[in-house]
Amino acid sequence: MLTCRMDAETNTQTVVTVNQILERYERDCVPELAPRTQIDYRRHLQKLRQVYGSAIASELQPRDFGPFLQVKKGKWQRVKQLAVLSAAFTQAVSFWYWLDRNVLRDVKRPKARPRDRLVTQEEFAAVRAISPYRVQLAMDLAVMTG
C-alpha cells in the first residue's frame, strides 16, 4: 500500500518521498533545536537526501538500511544520521499523518561503548585555568565530592 497525502491546492493524492518528509522536518522542526544541533542536523539531512531522498517513504523496509550502516569508517555518523531520519519519520507518522509507521523503529543500531578514559590532572588544570570562576568552583566541588 502506498502512503499518500492530500494536496490541499489540487485536492489530489500524492506519493510521499523521503525528500518531502525531510524538507518539512527541516522547515518545521530543526529551527526549534539548539544552534549547534541545527548545524549537525542539516549536515545529516544533506547526506540522507543523497542516499534516500527519491525513495518512496512507505516502501522502505528495515533491510534497506543495513548496507548504509555497514561501513568501516564513519559508522557512528551513519547511526546519528539514521536517528535524524527516524525523528523525521516519527513526525510524519504522529503529526503529519503521511506514514502509517516508522520503519526505523525495527532497525537495530549499534550501541556506543562508554568511555573508559579518565581526565588527566594536566587536562583538568588546563580547562580549569580558562573557565569562569563559577565553573572553577563547580569543578572543585566535583573533585571534592567524588
Helix/strand/coil (H/E/C) assignment for every residue in the chain: CCCEEEECCCCEEEECEHHHHHHHHHHHCHHHCCHHHHHHHHHHHHHHHHHHCCCEHHHCCHHHHHHHHCCCCCHHHHHHHHHHHHHHHHHHHHCCCCCCCCHHHHCCCCCCCCCCCCCCHHHHHHHHHHCCHHHHHHHHHHHHHC
pLDDT of residue 92: 95
Q: Output the tens digit of pLDDT for each of the chain's 146 residues.
A: 334 454 545 444 568 999 999 999 999 999 999 999 999 999 999 999 999 999 999 999 999 999 999 988 989 999 999 999 999 999 999 999 999 999 999 888 888 788 888 889 999 999 999 999 999 999 999 999 98
Angle at 34 (CA atoms; ends 76, 125), nearest 5 degrees? 75
pLDDT of residue 117: 86
Q: Which domains does the chain have, with CATH numbers?
A: 4-106 (1.10.150), 113-146 (no CATH)
Number of CB atoms found within 10 A of residue 24's CB: 17
Contacts with 127 (C-beta within 8 Å, 6 or more apart), sequence order: 139
Residue-level pLDDT at 1 = 35
